Structure 1
Amino acid sequence: MSQQINLFNAGFKRKKNYATTRAMATGLGALVLVLTVASVLANIELATLEREAAVVKAELAAREARRIAVTSTFVAPRKSEALQQELDQTGVQYRNLQQVAAILDQGEPGATRGYSAYFRAFARRGIDGLWLTGVTIQGSGEAIGLQGRALKASLLPGYLNGLAGEAVLRGKTFGQLQMTEPKAPPKAAAADGVSAPEPAAAPRYVEFSLQSAAAGEQAKVEQP
C-alpha cells in the first residue's frame, strides 16, 4: 500500500506583489509621458528659433544686397581740371586783392597811417560842383597832388579850407595851383555844297591841378 506525502508548505510559496508592479508601470508611463511632452515642447521651441533665425538671415541678406547695389551705382566724381584751374586762378586773384588792400591800408614803407585815411578825407570834404579826376600820393604823404574839375573857380577856396580841417592833411599846404579852361573843339570843315555844322560849345567847367609844397619843390628839381 502506497501513501503520498505532501511536502508542500504554503508558507514557503513566493507571493506576488501586484501593488508594486502597478506602481512601477504607472511611474514608467508617467515618465514616458513627461519625456514625450518635453520633446514636443523642445521641438516647438526649436522650430520657433529656426523661423526667427531665418527672418534675421533674410533681413541681413536684403541689407547686404542694398549695400552692394548702392556701392555699384555710386561713381566717384571725376576731378575737373578746368574747374581746378579756375579755382586756382580765383585764389590767386583773391590773394592779389588782399595784397592791394594791405598796400592801400598800410601805405608804402615808411607810411604810418596808410593811404585810406587820405581818400576818406577827400570824400568827406567833397562839395557839389567840384569833383576829383586824379590823386597822387608819394611816400608817407609828404607829396600830394590833386587833379579835378569845378563848375566854378570860386569853389576851390572853400574846398581847400575843408581839406585843411582834416587831421590827416593838417600842416600840409598846396603851394602850386594851375587852372585851365577847356577849349571848344575845332569847327569841322564844310563839304562841297553842304554847310558846316555849328561848333560845339566849350565845356562849362574849369580844370585844376593842386600840388602840395613838397610835390611842387620836387617838380622844380626834376625840371631840366
Structure 2
Amino acid sequence: MNNSIIFLLLSLVACSSVVYGVQYLHMEPYANSDCKGEIYGAGYALQIDLCFGINYQGGAFVNNFKVSLDDSGQNATVSQFKDTDTSCSTPNTNFDKVYNVGECYEAPGYGNSDDYEPTNFVLISIQNNPHSIPTYGYRSTTYGDSQCMSNPQFYIFYTNNTEFNIHSDDYSKWYCVDNQAYETFCEQGEGTESCFTNPSSSECTRNFLQWHEDNYIQESC
C-alpha cells in the first residue's frame, strides 16, 4: 500500500465521528415517564472517568463534572466540582446524582439555561466503545481539542421539534433540516404570534466561557 493511500485512509478516519476506547453515560429522551413510546426532548451523553466542564445558567457559570461507574457496571454517579477544580479532586457531594442502568428519570438540566428547562424523561444506559454518535436532531458537543476530532467529552441533544416553554407563553423549537440545525423562537401577543428562526449550527470554536478547561464546542445535527 503506497503512502498516498495510507494518508487518505487516515484522513477519512480523522474526519469521521467514530469514537473508540471510551464509555458514556447515555440518557435517551422520552416524552413519557415510563420511557416508552415517543423519543422526544433533551438527551445527554457524558464520558465516564473524565473531568470536564459544563456551562449552566445560559453559559454564565461553569462547573466541572465526572462520571464514575461502579464494579457492577449498572450504577453511575455524576459528581460536581468547582470550575477551578479541573482535575475533579474535591467533589461537592451534596450534588452527587446516581443513575441506575435501565431506569427512567426526569431529564436533568446539564448544559441547559434556566429558560430551556427540559420536561421530558431519560432512559439510562452505558455505551461501551460506541461506533458513532447517533443523530437525533440538534446537538451541542464539547471536545478537548481545537479540531473537535477527539472523543466527545459531553454532548446534549434535542430531538427534532423539541419545544421549551419560555416565560409561560413564549416558546422555542429546535430541529434539523438538510443537516442544518435551527431554532425557531415564538412570542405570544394579544391574539397574535410572532416567530423568527435562526441557524444554530456552528464550527469548532473555543468555549471561552470555560476559562479553566480549555474546551471547544461544536453545534450540529
TM-score range, shorter chain: under 0.3
Q: Which has the higher contact order (CA 8 A, sep 6+)?
A: 2
The TM-score, its normalising length taken from structure 2, stands at: 0.22
The TM-score, its normalising length taken from structure 1, stands at: 0.22
Structure with the largest fraction of helix: 1
